[in-house]
Amino acid sequence: MKMAATRLIALHINKGKTVAQCLADRTDYSENAAKTEDGKYISAYACDAKTCDEEFLLSKRQYEHITGRTQAHDVIAYQIRQSFKPGEITPEEANKVGYETAMRFTKGKHAFIVATHIDRAHIHNHIIFNSTTLDFTRKFRDFRLSGLALARLSDIVCLEHRLSVIIRKPYGERQKRTEYPEKKSQRDEICEAIDAALARKPKDFRELIEILQEAGYEYKDGKQPALRGKGHARFARFRSLGKGYSVEELCEVIAGNAVHKSKFVEKNRTSARSSQVHQKAELSFLIDVRAKMQAGKGAGYARWAKVFNLKQMAKAMMFMEEHGIKSYAELKEKAEEISENCDALLESVKADEARMSEVSVLRKHLINYAKTKDVFAAYKASGYNREFYEAHRDSLALRSAAKKAFDAYKKENGSDKKLPRISELNAEYAMLLERKKSSYAEYRKTKSEMQDWLVAQKIVQEILKEDEQKKEHTHEQGEENRENSR
C-alpha cells in the first residue's frame, strides 16, 4: 500500500432508522475505544468528539428552522477514509494529517471529527464531517470529481509532512491484472499448517496439535477430530483433508512408519499460517539437544538440531567478523552499549509522548475556556441563576474544568507564569511530534540490531562454555589414565 489512499463517502439515512440513530452508528464506530486506544487518537473541530452526533443533529434542526427546507432523503454527513503506508507514520501524526486534510477540504465551514484507527497493520483515519455548515444556512454538495480533488489535497498535505504519495499513471500506462491469485480454502490452509508442524518433528499426535494450536488453530476432539482456523465458522475434519492427512496417517508419519507426502507440489508455495508455524530468525538461539532428547524427541530430531546449532554458530562467527569483534569481552561490551542506547531511545519516546499529552490537554482547555466566554458572561449577568446553569451545564462544566487546569498549571510553574498561547502549544506539539517520530524510527532500528547482538553474545557464550566443559573432561580423563597406569 502506498501513502496515502483516500476515499469520500456520502452517508445517508438508513431504512428504518432515524437521523440520530444513523449519526450515532457512524460516529460510534469511528470512535471505537479498541481502535483508537481509548480515544487517545481522536480530535475534533467545532464540536465535542463525545457528543458530535447530537451536535450534528442539532445543526440540522437549526438548518430546517432557518431555511425551511427538509432533508427526507438527503446526505446527513460525509466520511473521508485516509489510509497510510505501514510503518511510515505515527498515530499522532496521522491524526494531525487527517485534521489538516479535513480543515482544508471543508475550508473550516463544517464541524468534523478525526478518529485514527491503529487496529490494522496500516494506520488509517476515519474523518466524519457534518453536511450542514456552521452557520446552519448551507449544506456541502458533493461535486463532480470530488474524490480526485480530495486525493490531490491529501497528497499536498502528505508532501508537506514529508510523506510519500501515490504516483498516478495515465490509464493506458497502468499495469493490468490478467491473473488472479487462487483463493485458498480453509482445508488448504490447515494442510499447509500441518506440513509446517510436521517439519518440527513432533513426538506424538498430541504435540502436533499443540503446535497447530500455537499457530492459532482450534482443535475439537471426539469421534471425528477436527480443526478450525481463525475467521472460519466451521470445523474441518481430518478425514476430509485428503490423502495423507487423516489422524491415522499422521500418527504413522510421526511414529516413523511412513513418509508424509504434501498435497502441495509447488516448491515456492507457502502460506501466512505455515510461515507463522515455521518461521525462524536469521540468527537464532541454540537448541538444547540434551533437554529435547529427555523430553522425548527422537534421533532424527537430534541430528537436525545439531546441524542447526552448527549453522547458527557459523553465523555468529561471521557476525563477529563483519563487525570487527575479536573477543567475547568486546562482543559483550558492544551488546551492552547497544542495549543502553535502545533503552535511552525508548525513554526519550515515552517522555515526548507524555509531554505531547500534557500539551494536548492544556490546548483543549484553552480552546474550551475561550469558547465558553460568552456563556459564562451571560451566566454571571443572570446573577448565577440556577435555571441558566442547568440549561448551559455542559459549557459551564467545560469552563470550570479549564479553570482548574489553569490553577494547577500556575501552582506547578509559579503564579507569575503566564499561560502559553495556543500557537506556542501548536509549535511545541509539532516539534515534539517530529522528534518523537525520528527517535522512534531510530529505536526500532536499534532494537533490531540489539537482538542480533544479544543472540550472537549468547551463542558465543554457549560455545565458550562447551569448550570449557571439554577441557575439564579431557583433564579428568588424563588424571584417570595416570591413576590407572600406576
**pLDDT tens figures, 347-384:** 998 898 888 888 888 989 999 999 999 999 999 999 99
Residue 447: pLDDT band with limits 50, 70, 90: confident
Measured distance CA(127)–CA(112) in Å, rounded: 7
Answer yes or no: is pLDDT of 274 > 50: no
CA 430 to chain centre: 22
The pLDDT-based confidence of 109 (bands split at 50, 70, 90) is very high
Most confident of 96-110, 171-185, 242-256, 271-285: 96-110
Q: How far apart are CA 133 and CA 192, in angstroms?
A: 55
Residue 284 has pLDDT above 80, yes or no: no
> Strands 124-130, 5-12: parallel, antiparallel or unpaired by DSSP?
unpaired
Least reliable range by pLDDT among 120-129, 135-144, 393-402, 443-452? 443-452
- Contact partners, residue 393, CB within 8 Å, separation at least 6: none
Sign of the alpha-carbon dihedral angle for 429, 435, 436, 437: positive
**What is the residue extent of each domain of the chain?**
5-169, 186-279, 330-460
Q: Are 407 and 397 in contact (CB under 8 A)?
A: no
Closest-CA residue to 419 (of 469, 379, 475, 367): 367
pTM of the predicted protein model: 0.40
Over residues 222-258, the pLDDT tens digits come to 889 999 988 888 999 998 998 889 999 999 888 888 8
Is CATH 3.40.50.300 correct for 5-169?
A: no
* Predicted pLDDT at 180: 66
Cell of 121: 497493520
3-state percent breakdown (helix, strand, coil) of the chain, nearest 5? 60, 10, 35
What is the SS3 assignment for 287? coil
Residues 6+ apart with CB under 8 A from 378: 388, 392
Confidence of residue 273 (pLDDT cuts 50, 70, 90): very low
* Alpha-carbon span 93 to 435, nearest angstrom: 11
Containing 227, the helix (H) or strand (E) segment is strand 226-228
pLDDT score of 304: 66
* Residue 420 to residue 408: CA distance in whole angstroms: 14
